[in-house]
């Protein structure tokens, strides 16, 4: 049942948070397949499980039920360490509030994503230069994140997600903390990356930004309620 | 307002319970150490303050500087000096004298033991402020009276009654208990248990002529000066009196050799050179007090640093509160007072805990350091004030800096979510200080331990095992010869007894007489100062020391045993055995060259004897390892034996001990036996070093523990504060190992820097301490490695524990929680 172009697929994935008193189902039986080269937007109201889904896709969390196949391997029951290894090889993540480390410079923040790969310092530098050029932040390489605008910070975060050349880029409300001008910039950049072949899954509130994607998945109460496939323009 | 401050403080401490607990636990331990050391220092510096008119009470100190002999500083003076002083020197209000000696005390057939007693002038009980519980303070006017302490009274007669009871001294003088006094406080240089009158027949029976003999320093002489009198002036007058009257035993004046000064009784404990009465007690040492106080202060500072670091590390947690208070109008000073108040609350809590710990531990610690620690000393007004100031100092030290840091937050900045790393560098410096202190203390404790082990086990050049010492055999010359002869004969041939020898001094006494020696053919100014020792013929057999040239003393040579004949011995050539050091200092290159030579020995000023060297023995440590081996001359002189050394067969130990017991009873019926193993007494020579080790090791352990407590707090905080960073790194692929490395490096760095700083300092201090020993170890490099290494390993363990805790949480949840 795996199509030749499939990057990942979820089958009946559920996620339940347990606290002492109550059990909350964040995801209840998600089926979703994402092919290489897709640009998917996940939409839905607050609390519908968007971020939980993204965390599972990014292997930051394991589902409590169901099957998650990534490049043909069933990773739902992988250990945390195994997931971490898979993640750093294949996944780049962009967060709503950037999550840059304040004490490190722009360059160091970007290189951080290669620090845990078996890559020489010279290669790290070179690759950082490349991605900084790509997102247009090279002139800020020596600055601290605190000295940058929100849009610039998100570019740094994008560069960091790109540097390890991941097969999948996950973006969690990448424009949520940005004004509309900077938001458009970031969307434009993601679209450009997708055009160059990157697979992107993006969580967003904004229908306008969702329009940049080639497919939209609507979630409500932990379930997929609609697929909306658009043709690439 | 106060109430508001107090409530916030309390709530804050409760909210951050673990951090507060770490602060308080560290401070509590630090304060407990400080309290105990404070007690000790206070007591040591306040000895004898309880004596009546303590500030006017002085003891006569006599210095004899006889040319060619080493300086003698004595706290005893000739008997007639005291009465002469109170008659003829204007500033002297009263004088009293104590004469100390060992006696055998017995009560009928029921009880018999050896004990030191003093004979005193009748006014002694008043001048020394005896706290009489029964009987009269003036009882010593009666020559047959005795005053006893409560401890002694109970030992002699149980529950009593005591007054009127008879005690026999040396089985021939009866004294009657005429008074019982409370035991003298342990903070007194005096510890007398049994006080008889100087007029007692028991004193005369020992052949002492205290009231007339100006030639011999014999009695402790206490003078009470008039309030206006100058101790220096009185000392000079005393010196004149002594110089006019004192004579050498041969009747010649020794005027210029005599110096007399007054020493205040209250200074005696810390500055007194040789005045130790209590068995097992060591003289007070200002240096040791300075060391103890310094180390305690360091431990306390290490504890204060915990509070400072935890408070500043947590300052970001409280930034909002500060901001809000400032917004509603609190001034910086009000906030400083508030935060200082919080510190005061912590210190107060810690102090209460510390006092409880100190009270409970006082007795055990007192045993440890060889002093009674009296907790209620703290209640003396002076001590209470100083202790209060100490607590205030701790409040300021631990609270002032964090208070300033917290109070200086700008409200505008606080509401922006800026990661707070302010104070990091100072915090690192303080952590470095904590670890440097801990490492240096560990190295020092290790060095002391090694030196103590060396002192206790070094090869002394003789066989120290299986030798029993029997002291108490000295009588008048003829009596000593007869007694030691009879005792020797009674011992020989009994089961388990191998060799017996009388000697003037034992290797465990760290003492030998001095003599001036030169080859008989050399000029008088060629004299060399040597140690001399009067020994029995079997002395070297007992010690298992073999000659390297010639022979040692032996029964089969007539002249050796001839010294036992008081009449004939002046006519017989004195045989001498010397050690190798003497061969060198007399200028003979080779031991055999000295054998057969005649030496002139000057034993007293004006008294010389000739002797012929019959053998040379290797250098061995007759005195303690604190002093270099001196040239030494041994010769048979049975009139001077103080102690018998008995080598026993180790496989017949019990039989040997029975033999010794029986031989003693047969020779000295009615006299109690005191017997000690030489090897045990040799080890006991170094009891003060052992104590120094125990104290240093204990304090080092506490310092390390407190520093580790602080580290746990800092780690917990750092790990929490860096959770987001850790999560980002984990999202980017960092595994637990990578995260661990991050923190290991962060927390290893201060330890490594501390080790680098502590190393040279500890080395210098260790060298300095060791330099007081003539024979010593080298400071071991591995101690530094071990101290630094153990600090590092503990740091790593604690770090790993904390990191494991955070690494269990999924990074997504941390990042989400923040984003939400």
pLDDT in tens, B495-527: 999 999 999 999 988 888 888 899 988 887 788
Which whole number is the average pLDDT over B459-469? 94
pLDDT recorded at residue B419: 44
The residue among A6, A8, A11 whose CA lies nearest residue A27 is A11
Residue B393 pLDDT greater than 90, yes or no = yes
- Answer whether A84 sits within 8 Å of B735, measured CB to CB: yes
Residue A233 predicted with pLDDT over 80? no
Residue B72 pLDDT grade (very low, low, confident, very high; cuts 50, 70, 90): confident
Contact list, B731 vs chain A (CB under 8 Å): 58, 60, 87, 93, 99
CA dihedral B385, B388, B393, B399 (to 10 degrees): -160
The answer, yes or no, to whether residue B650 has pLDDT greater than 70, is yes
Whether the per-residue pLDDT at B281 is higher than 80: the answer is no
| Confidence (pLDDT) at A47 | 77
Instruction: Show Cβ contacts of residue B169 under 8 Å, excluding neighbours closer than 6 positions.
Output: B103, B104, B105, B117, B175, B196, B202
Q: Residues for chain A: how many in total?
A: 233
Q: pLDDT tens across A37-47, in order? A: 999 999 888 77
The DSSP code sequence of B489-553 is HHHTTSTTEEEEEEESS-GGGT--EEEEEEETTS-GGG-EEEEEEEE-TTHHHHHT---SEE---
In the predicted model, is pLDDT for residue B2 greater than 70? no
Mean pLDDT over A58-78 rounds to: 87
Q: Where are the beta strands (DSSP E) in B209-257?
A: 217-225
Please say whether the beta carbons of B767 and A123 come within 8 A. Answer: no
Q: Which of the residues A17, A79, A116 would you substitute to probe the B interface, choosing the one with the greatest number of B C-beta atoms within 10 Å?
A: A116
pLDDT at site B761: 94
Q: With contact defined as beta carbons under 8 Å apart, do B706 and B302 qualify? A: yes
**Which residues partner with A73 through β-bridges?**
A70
pLDDT over 90, % of chain A: 17
Helix (H, G, I), strand (E, B) or coil at B118: strand
- Which are the contacts of A131, defined by CB distance < 8 A and separation ≥ 6? A110, A159, A160, A162, A163
Backbone region of residue B748 per phi and psi (left: phi > 0; alpha: psi in -120 to 50; beta: other values) = alpha
**Would you say residue B145 has pLDDT above 60?**
yes
Query: CA angle at residue B472 from B469 to B474, to 5 degrees?
Result: 120
Q: Which residues of B touch A112 (CB under 8 A)?
A: 728-729, 732
Q: What is the DSSP letter of B247?
A: B
Minimum mean pLDDT range among A56-60, A64-68, B424-428, B701-705: B424-428
From the list A60, A97, A146, the residue facing B731 with the nearest CB is: A60
Stretch among B153-167, B276-290, B775-789 having the lowest mean pLDDT: B276-290
- Which residues make Cβ contacts (< 8 Å) with residue B511, sequence separation at least 6? B505, B623
The answer, for A58 touching chain B at a CB cutoff of 8 Å, is yes
Q: Percentage of residues in chain B with pLDDT exceeding 70?
A: 93
Q: According to the model, what pLDDT value does residue A232 have?
A: 41
Nearest to B718 by CA among A103, A20, A76, A125: A103
Cβ of B419 within 8 Å of Cβ of A88? The answer is no
Contacts of residues A114-119 at CB distance under 8 Å and 24 or more positions apart, as own/partner, are A114/A163, A114/A164, A115/B732, A115/B734, A115/B738, A116/A88, A116/B729, A116/B732, A116/B733, A116/B734, A116/B735, A116/B738, A117/A88, A117/A164, A117/B733
Biggest CA–CA distance in chain A, Å, is 53
Residue A59 pLDDT greater than 50, yes or no: yes
CA separation for the pair B530, B452 (Å, rounded):
28
Rounded CA-CA distance B75/B97 in Å is 11
Question: Which one, of B674, B588, B690, B668, lies nearest residue B631 by Cα?
Answer: B588
Contact with chain A for residue B730, Cβ under 8 A = yes
Q: Does A63 touch chain B (CB under 8 A)?
A: no
CA distance A230 to chain B (A): 31
**Interface contact B247, partner A, CB < 8 A:** no
Q: Where are the beta strands (DSSP E) in B723-762?
A: none
User: What pTM, to 2 d.p., does this model score?
Assistant: 0.80
pLDDT at position A114, please?
Answer: 86
B711 closest CA partner among B794, B647, B779, B790: B794
> What sign does the CA torsion over B724, B727, B732, B738 have?
positive
What's phi and psi for B432, nearest 5 deg? -60, -45
Helix (H, G, I), strand (E, B) or coil at A197: coil
Residue B278 phi/psi, 5-degree rounding, is -75, 135
Token pair belonging to A90: 């294949």
Instruction: Give the whole-angstrom CA distance, residue B403 versus residue B318.
Output: 12
Q: A52, A79, A99: which to substitute to probe chain B, counting the most B Cβ within 10 Å?
A: A99
CB burial of residue B296 (10 Å; 0-12, 13-18, 19+): buried
Residue among A174, A145, A179, A176 at smallest CA distance from A158 = A174
Distance of CA B214 to the CA centre of its chain: 35
pLDDT at residue B817, as a whole number:
54
Q: What is the pLDDT of residues B190-227, one digit of tens each?
A: 889 999 999 999 988 887 788 888 888 889 999 999 99
Please state whether B88 falls in left (phi above 0), alpha (psi between -120 and 50) or beta.
alpha
Segment (H or E) for B407: helix B381-407
Output the six-digit token pair for A212: 């940049």
Per-residue pLDDT tens over the stretch B739-748: 888 888 888 9
Q: B725 touching A, CB under 8 A?
A: yes
Contact B145, B137 (CB under 8 A): no
CB contact under 8 A, B728 and A101: yes
- Count the Cβ atoms, other than its own, within 10 Å of residue B723: 17
Query: What is residue A100's DSSP assignment?
Result: -
Q: What is the mean pLDDT of chain B?
A: 87
User: Tokens representing B263?
Assistant: 């020493």
pLDDT at B819: 41
pLDDT given at position B112:
81
For residue A233, give how far its alpha carbon lies from the nearest alpha carbon of chain B (Å). Answer: 33
Mutant choice from B413, B725, B727, B731 vs A, greatest count of A C-beta within 10 A: B731
pLDDT at A165 (0 to 100): 85
Pairing assessment for the beta strands B217-225 and B607-617 based on DSSP bridges: unpaired
Phi-psi region of B412 (alpha: psi -120 to 50; beta: other; left: phi over 0): alpha
Closest CA to B423 of B431, B434, B435: B431
Q: Does A9 touch chain B (CB under 8 A)?
A: no
| Chain B touched by A146 (CB under 8 Å) | yes
Distance CA B32, CA B578 (A): 54
Which among A61, A96, A117 is the nearest to B733, CB-wise? A117
Q: Closest to A95 (Cβ–Cβ): which among B730, B736, B815? A: B815
B572 in contact with A, Cβ within 8 Å: no
DSSP state of B671: P
pLDDT attached to residue A11: 92
CB B609 within 8 A of CB B601: yes
Q: Confirm or reject contact between A119 and chain B (CB < 8 A).
A: no
């Amino acid at each position: 049942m795996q199509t030749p172009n499939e990057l990942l697929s979820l089958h009946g994935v559920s996620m339940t948070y347990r606290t002492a008193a109550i059990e909350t189902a964040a995801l209840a039986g998600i089926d979703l397949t994402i092919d290489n080269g897709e640009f998917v937007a996940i939409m839905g109201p607050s609390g519908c499980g968007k971020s939980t889904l993204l965390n599972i896709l990014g292997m930051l969390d394991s589902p409590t039920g169901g099957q998650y196949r990534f490049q043909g391997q069933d990773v739902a029951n992988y250990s945390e360490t195994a997931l971490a290894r898979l993640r750093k090889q294949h996944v780049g993540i962009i967060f709503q509030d950037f999550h840059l480390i304040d004490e490190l410079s722009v360059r160091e923040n970007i290189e951080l994503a290669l620090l845990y790969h078996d890559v020489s310092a010279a290669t790290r530098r070179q690759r950082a230069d490349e991605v900084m050029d790509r997102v247009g932040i090279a002139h800020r390489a020596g600055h601290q994140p605190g000295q940058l605008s929100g849009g610039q910070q998100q570019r740094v975060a994008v560069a960091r997600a790109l540097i390890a050349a991941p097969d999948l880029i996950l973006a969690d409300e990448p424009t949520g903390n940005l004004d509309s001008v900077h938001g458009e910039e970031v969307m434009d950049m993601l679209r450009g990356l997708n055009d160059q072949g990157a697979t992107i899954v993006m969580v967003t509130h904004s229908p306008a930004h969702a329009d940049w994607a080639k497919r939209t998945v609507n979630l409500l109460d932990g379930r997929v309620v609609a697929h909306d496939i658009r043709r690439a323009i | 307002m106060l109430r508001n401050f107090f409530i916030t403080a309390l709530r804050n401490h409760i909210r951050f319970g673990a951090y507060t607990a770490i602060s308080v636990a560290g401070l509590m331990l630090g304060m407990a150490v400080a309290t105990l050391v404070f007690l000790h220092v206070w007591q040591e510096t306040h000895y004898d303050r309880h004596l009546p008119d303590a500030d006017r009470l002085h003891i006569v100190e006599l210095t004899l500087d006889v040319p060619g002999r080493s300086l003698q500083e004595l706290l005893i003076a000739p008997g007639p000096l005291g009465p002469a002083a109170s008659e003829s020197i204007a500033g002297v209000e009263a004088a009293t004298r104590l004469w100390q000696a060992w006696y055998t005390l017995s009560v009928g057939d029921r009880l018999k033991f050896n004990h030191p007693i003093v004979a005193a002038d009748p006014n002694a009980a008043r001048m020394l402020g005896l706290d009489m519980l029964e009987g009269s303070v003036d009882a010593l006017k009666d020559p047959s009276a005795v005053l006893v302490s409560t401890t002694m009274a109970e030992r002699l007669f149980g529950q009593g009654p005591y007054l009127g009871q008879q005690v026999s001294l040396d089985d021939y003088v009866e004294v009657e208990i005429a008074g019982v006094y409370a035991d003298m406080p342990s903070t007194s240089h005096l510890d007398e248990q049994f006080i008889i009158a100087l007029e007692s027949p028991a004193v005369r029976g020992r052949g002492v002529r205290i009231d007339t003999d100006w030639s011999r320093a014999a009695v402790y002489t206490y003078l009470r000066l008039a309030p206006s009198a100058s101790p220096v002036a009185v000392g000079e007058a005393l010196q004149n009196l002594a110089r006019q009257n004192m004579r050498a035993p041969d009747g010649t004046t020794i005027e210029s050799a005599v110096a007399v000064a007054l020493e205040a009784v209250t200074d005696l404990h810390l500055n007194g050179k040789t005045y130790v009465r209590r068995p097992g007690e060591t003289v007070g040492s200002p240096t040791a007090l300075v060391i103890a106080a310094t180390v305690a202060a360091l431990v306390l500072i290490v504890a204060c640093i915990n509070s400072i670091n935890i408070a500043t590390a947590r300052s970001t947690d409280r930034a909002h509160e500060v901001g809000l208070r400032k917004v509603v109008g609190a001034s910086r000073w009000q906030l400083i007072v508030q935060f200082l108040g919080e510190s005061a609350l912590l210190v107060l809590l810690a102090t209460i805990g510390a006092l409880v710990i100190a009270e409970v531990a006082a007795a055990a610690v007192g045993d440890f350091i060889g002093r009674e620690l009296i907790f209620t000393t703290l209640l003396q007004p002076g001590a209470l004030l100083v202790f209060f100031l100490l607590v205030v100092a701790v409040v300021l030290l631990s609270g002032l800096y964090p208070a300033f840091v917290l109070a200086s937050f700008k409200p505008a900045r606080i509401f922006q979510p800026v990661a707070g790393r302010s104070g990091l560098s100072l915090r690192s410096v303080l952590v470095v200080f904590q670890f440097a202190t801990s490492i240096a203390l560990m190295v020092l404790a290790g060095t002391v331990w090694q030196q103590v082990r060396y002192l206790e086990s070094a090869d002394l050049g003789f066989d120290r095992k299986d030798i029993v010492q029997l002291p108490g055999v000295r009588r008048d010359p003829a009596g000593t010869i007869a007694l030691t002869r009879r005792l020797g004969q009674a011992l020989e041939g009994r089961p388990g007894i191998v060799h017996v020898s009388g000697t003037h001094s034992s290797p465990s006494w760290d003492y030998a007489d001095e003599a001036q020696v030169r080859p008989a053919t050399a000029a008088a100014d060629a004299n060399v100062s040597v140690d001399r020792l009067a020994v029995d013929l079997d002395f070297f057999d007992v010690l298992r020391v073999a000659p390297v040239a010639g022979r040692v003393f032996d029964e089969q040579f007539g002249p050796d045993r001839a010294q036992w004949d008081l009449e004939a011995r002046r006519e017989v050539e004195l045989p001498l055995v010397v050690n190798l050091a003497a061969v060198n200092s007399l200028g003979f290159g080779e031991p055999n060259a000295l054998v057969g030579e005649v030496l002139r020995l000057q034993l007293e000023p004006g008294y010389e004897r000739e002797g012929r060297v019959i053998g040379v023995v290797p250098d061995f440590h007759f005195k303690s390892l604190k002093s270099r081996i001196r040239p030494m001359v041994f010769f048979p002189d049975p009139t001077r034996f103080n102690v018998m050394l008995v080598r026993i067969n180790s496989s017949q130990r019990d039989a040997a001990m029975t033999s010794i017991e029986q031989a003693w009873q047969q020779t000295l019926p009615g006299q109690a036996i005191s017997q000690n193993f030489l090897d045990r007494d040799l080890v006991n020579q170094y009891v003060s070093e052992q104590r120094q080790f125990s104290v240093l090791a204990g304090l080092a352990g506490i310092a390390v523990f407190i520093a580790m407590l602080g580290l746990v707090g800092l780690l917990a905080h750092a790990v929490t504060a860096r959770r987001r960073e850790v999560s980002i790194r984990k999202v980017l692929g960092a595994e637990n190992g990578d995260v661990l490395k991050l923190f290991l490096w962060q927390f290893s760095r201060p330890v490594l820097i501390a080790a680098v700083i502590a190393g040279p300092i500890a080395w210098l201090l260790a060298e300095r301490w060791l330099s007081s020993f003539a024979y010593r170890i080298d400071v071991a490099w591995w101690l530094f490695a071990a101290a630094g290494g153990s600090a590092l390993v503990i740091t790593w363990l604690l770090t790993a524990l904390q990191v494991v805790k955070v690494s269990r949480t999924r990074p997504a949840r941390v990042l989400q929680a923040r984003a939400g």
